[in-house]
A and B are shown apart, each in its own frame.
Chain A
Amino acid sequence: MATREVNLPDIGEGVTEGELVKWLVKPGDRVEPDQPVAEVMTDKATVEVPSPVAGVVQKLLRQEGDTIPIETAMLVLETDGVESSKGSSHKAPPAAHATVANAPPPVAHTMTMASGSSATTLGTTKPGGGIGGSVDVYPPPASSKTLATPGTRRLAREFGVDINTLNGSGPLGRVTREDVIRAQHGSTGAGATVAGRPTIQMPPKAAYQGPAGSKEERVPLRGIRKKIAENLQMAKQVIPHFTLMEEVNVTELVHFRAQAKAAGEKAGVKVTYLPFVMKALIATMREFPMFNASIDDAAGEIVYKKYFNIGFAADTPNGLLVPVVKNADQKTIVDLSREISELAIKARDGKLSLEEMKGATITITNIGSVGGVYATPIINHPEVAILGMYKITDRPVWVGGEWKPAQFMNFTITCDHRLIDGAVAANFMKSFAAKVEQPSTLMLAMV
């Protein structure tokens, strides 16, 4: 019998750490190869970490709620093999590093200070925390996955840029000199870090203490909720938001959709309003490309996207998730309906992959099924706009000297004011509303 550490594997491009949400095993449990041992939350996806080998769980090294860097040990298995091994086995690991993680370094004796003959002029002797290999030096050394030349790695260190967080622009994701220079220039504001996320200063963490004796319950802020909190706070801090609201007569769309729904049912697909709204949105974005864009703060550049990946906010038992329909402009209403319904089910069941939640160019939030007249949504950074769609209501309209029944849906467009002016947003909404009001015009723009 031998022991083996199981690492948090590299989960996907750009992910550097994950939060341990839940252990699926306990000491003494027997696990088979590929059996999930833990749920780990990264970015917005919860993934199950499989065991690489068969064995019996000896010890859990982490607690639920811990943040774990990739390729670090999570648990110890007693395996059926003969050879003990560490979780990672890079050639000739510096021996001092391989073991220190488990034992805190002894605290230095302070008595040694006194015996120096001229102690005041000497280097300070601090009890040294952090002899933990690479983790205590900032920026940390490049991971084995980070591609950059030695010179570029040194430049990043001199600039105080953690090269592991950069999205390399070179071949195979290689971090170039220019990437490092850009990241350094952006480091005071928003920088080009992983997935284009800016490194912004978060406000100090405020404490909350309720009145003494009041009935309150404390639960840890973790998992998806923690990620939601971080992402939204960041978006709200980076982006100056404004929201424009409009009432749109959707009487024709309701008819149109009713027909499509019937047709769809025969094909076994539930056709909702969302794909129509997506099509109208894409057609409008083609006229107003600044809505399908991002701001690269680090480079000081606007990035116009030539592809249309539409995220849609999904309410799940765990919290808000945003699955993404990729290349929605190239898909039919039936395709879109099918994909939306599949993604929504996965979101509800917590089965979305990280890939399925990445790369949106704009997001739609739909709370029509619940209620509410209008909302002021928060943009999903690094996107620059979010479309809100709300409940359909019956209303009378004054047409040609008489009242007629009609159906209305409210829409909002929330924009990044850095890129989108108020008048542009108003024109955008006008054009969008016209398409929704007359679905037949939408046909003209369809692929």
Chain B
Amino acid sequence: MSQNFDVCVIGAGPGGYVAAIRAAQLGLNTAVIERQALGGVCLNVGCIPSKAMITAAYFLHRAQHEAPEMGFEFQGEIKVNMKKLVTWKQSVCDRMSDGVAMLLKANKITVIKGEATFKSAQELEIKSAEGVQKVVAKKFVIATGSRPIEIPGFAFDEKNILSSTGALALEQLPKRVAVVGGGYIGLEISSYLAKLGAEVEVIEATAGVLTGAADPECVQVVQKQLKRAGVKVHTNAKAKSYKVAGKGLEIRFDIAGKEEVLTVDKIMVTVGRRPNSDQMNLKGIGLAIDERGFIRVDAQRRTNLSHIFAIGDIAGQPMLAHKASHEGVLVAEVIAGQNRAYDVKTVPAVIFTDPEIASAGWTEEECKAKGHSELKIGKFPFAANGRAVSMRETEGFVKIIADAKTHLVLGVHIVGPEASNLISEAVLAIEMGATLEDLALSIHPHPTLGETMMEAAEAALGHAIHIIQRPLNKGNGGGHARANP
């Protein structure tokens, strides 16, 4: 006996559960299959738990370093109970995951727990502790995501060698941690571990951290903060091997042919993620997969088998939860017969380092490559924003890049407090085809961090109020910052 559905979604992460809900909203008989927890990597071992930990570390850091300046007096040392912290973090994840379960149930979606494999292009076999069942569906949506990449000699055991998943679950703070890979995941976790009190050293193979992930000027600000927080970064460094040495671990790495050894308690490897396309017998049913392991899809996220769709990390870069959710809605609507396609101007990216980095649209280099030879660039520092000063968070800036002739906003790069929350305005601006004037002439509430977006647009136009720009209408130099009253 097999169960029949209109749509079967495999994977209940931010792509899959969203696809299932929209399909159900459109009246389709929908199932979703999940082998682990509802919400996928994002809600359980990714975005959400890392943000919980980052917030906790931020509180501690603020209490230790900022609060005394405001007159707070603490009796003795402020300590963190790691076990309690991890329990709280887990409660955050559980709450989110339970929320997904509730939504799936309310939408009358059949949730099947287990590991799915395609027996044929029309039939899935799902194995779980309860046994094996079969599912047949008219349409399938593959949303099984990605997993951390392992490197030779550093197989994940989540005891000595941690993936991001293991790092997030640590119930005891390691004293010394080596982090292999200075990408955004590595740096997010490094930052909070360092704030909680660990000694962190990052081993990065390229010449810098966050290579290609963010605007270089934004990265500089984060690098400075990392240094201040005591995180040591080794660049052009290649991790070779490790061995257990007494109670600790010895990790060996090469810098320009010279071997270095570091003794640590834990090694975390965060060198990127790979799509899970080697599972589920996808190749066996003839699904086209590219050389990087992504399932080939068209603008409707349809694979070479016309009744199978793929979304999220497994369907291509950028591997970001919000892209997956957008695609989830898209495929459900395509399946319901609506004419939809992936048709966006930009996928924003956010990095929760200290301070945060967020971007939408193109970098200067990309603008030039796209034929915008002359640009107007406006930069406004948080040091000149009243709210940022009152928050004691003055590092960073908002940078807006626009076409010099049309003033169309082409890219926005933010490094600073709440960058992740500020970027949405930039996304809307780019999607709507807004100009610098549109941003500058929209009243932004005072006193908020959001004013920096308006001021950066004014700066690009050559006349921001709260930085000194002279002469008017000439150049867009940064000028001298002074606080916004």
Contact = CB atoms under 8 A, between A and B. Distances in A.
A365 to B, nearest CB: 37
B432 A149 contact: yes
A10 B298 contact: no
Given A141-B342, A172-B408, A122 B305 contact: no
Interface string A112-132: 111111110111111110111
A91 B288 contact: no
Given A94-B315, A95-B317, A157-B339, A116 B286 contact: no
Interface stretch (B38-46, B71-79, B117-125): B117-125
B433 A149 contact: yes
Contact of A128 (B299, B303, B315): B303
B247 interface: no
Nearest to A141: B343
Contacts of B296: 96, 100, 105, 131
A93 interface: yes
Contacts, number: 175
Given A105-B288, A108-B304, A97 B316 contact: yes
Given A96-B316, A140-B299, A141-B342, A115 B290 contact: no
Nearest to A97: B316
B1 to A, nearest CB: 10
A133 B431 contact: no
Contact of A115 (B4, B123, B292): B123
B366 to A, nearest CB: 6
A55 interface: no
Interface in B331-380: 338-347, 349, 359, 361-363, 365-366, 369-371
A9 B373 CA distance: 13
Interface residue SS majority, chain A: loop
Given A128-B304, A132-B298, A137 B341 contact: yes
A406 B185 CA distance: 91
Contacts of B139: 123
Contacts of A140: 299, 341
Contacts of B343: 141-142, 150, 153-154, 157
Contacts of A128: 288, 302-306
Given A96-B290, A112-B286, A124 B306 contact: yes
A92 interface: yes
Contacts of A124: 306-307
Interface in B298-326: 298-300, 302-307, 315-318
Interface string A276-318: 0000000000000000000000000000000000000000000
A192 B299 CA distance: 25
Contacts of A113: 120-121
Q: Is the interface of B mostly helix, strand, loop or mixed?
A: loop
Interface in A392-444: none
A158 B340 CA distance: 8
A89 interface: yes
A98 to B, nearest CB: 8
30 contacts: A9-B371, A89-B370, A96-B290, A108-B287, A113-B121, A114-B120, A115-B122, A116-B122, A116-B123, A116-B136, A117-B2, A117-B122, A117-B136, A119-B122, A122-B136, A122-B307, A123-B139, A124-B306, A125-B307, A128-B303, A130-B298, A131-B302, A132-B298, A133-B299, A137-B341, A141-B343, A150-B344, A157-B340, A160-B339, A174-B433
Given A92-B318, A122-B122, A153-B343, 19 more contacts: A91-B346, A95-B317, A96-B296, A99-B291, A100-B290, A105-B304, A106-B304, A109-B285, A112-B122, A113-B120, A115-B122, A117-B2, A117-B123, A123-B307, A131-B303, A137-B299, A141-B299, A141-B343, A148-B433
Interface of A: 9-10, 85, 88-97, 99-100, 105-109, 112-119, 121-128, 130-134, 136-137, 139-142, 144, 147-150, 153-154, 157-158, 160, 172, 174
